[in-house]
Amino acid sequence: MSSSVHEQARALLAAADLENFDRGQHAWLQAHLAECAACRDYQAAAGSVIRALRTQPFAADSDLVRTTLVRVRARALELRQQRERNRLAGAACSFVGVSAAITIPWSWRCLEWIGAATSAASWLCQVGFAFLWIAPALIVSAVLLARGSHLAHDGEHPWQ
């Protein structure tokens, strides 16, 4: 047999714990192992090494544990802040939608009445309406921007 066949069999054996290969590859590997004593020996040796490594206890030193805890806590803080920002953004979007639904008809009638009472140009009333229509979104955007800037500066990570 050629060395590429043995290399392919060893590659499949090495990946056996990591990947699920299809039935054709599995059948080919089983047939090859039935014929090839060298690859069977490789499979047995690799299996015994893997079993030996899995039985060895692993102990982490205190620096690794401390660093990992700091990073995990920092990531948890980041996720909490992101969740808070998302909640704030959702509340702001709801506020803008409700306020727009309530104030748009009222402001249109109000500006129409003011325009008729003062004989103001229609374009002036339209500009006023556009401002009143956009104002809640601008105010909420400014608040969110200020809040996000505040979180970015107060939530700085101690390890950076």
Neighbouring CB atoms inside 10 A of 114's CB total 13
Structure tokens belonging to residue 151: 């979180």
Longest C-alpha distance within the chain, in Å? 102
Can you give the three-state secondary structure of 78-124, one letter per residue? Answer: HHHHHHHHHHHHHHHHHHHHHHHHHHHHHHHHHHHHHHHHHCCCHHH
**80 and 150 both lie in a single domain:** yes
Q: Which of 80, 86, 128 is nearest to 103 (CA)?
A: 128
User: pTM score, two decimals?
Assistant: 0.40
Tens digits of pLDDT across the chain (160 residues): 567 888 888 888 877 665 667 778 888 888 988 999 988 998 888 888 888 888 888 788 899 999 999 999 999 999 998 898 888 888 878 887 887 788 788 878 888 888 888 888 888 888 888 887 787 778 877 887 777 655 555 555 444 4
Domain that holds residue 93: 62-154
**67 and 137 both lie in a single domain:** yes
**50 and 67 both lie in a single domain:** no
Rounded to the nearest angstrom, the gap between the alpha carbon of residue 144 and the centroid of all alpha carbons in its chain is 21
36-40 — which CB contacts under 8 Å span 24+ positions? 36/1, 36/6, 36/9, 38/6, 39/6, 39/9, 39/10, 39/13
Q: Number of structural domains, the chain?
A: 2
In DSSP notation, 25-36 reads HHHHHHHHHHH-
**89 and 110 both lie in a single domain:** yes
**29 and 88 both lie in a single domain:** no
**66 and 136 both lie in a single domain:** yes
55, 72, 93 — which closes off a domain?
55
**148 and 119 both lie in a single domain:** yes
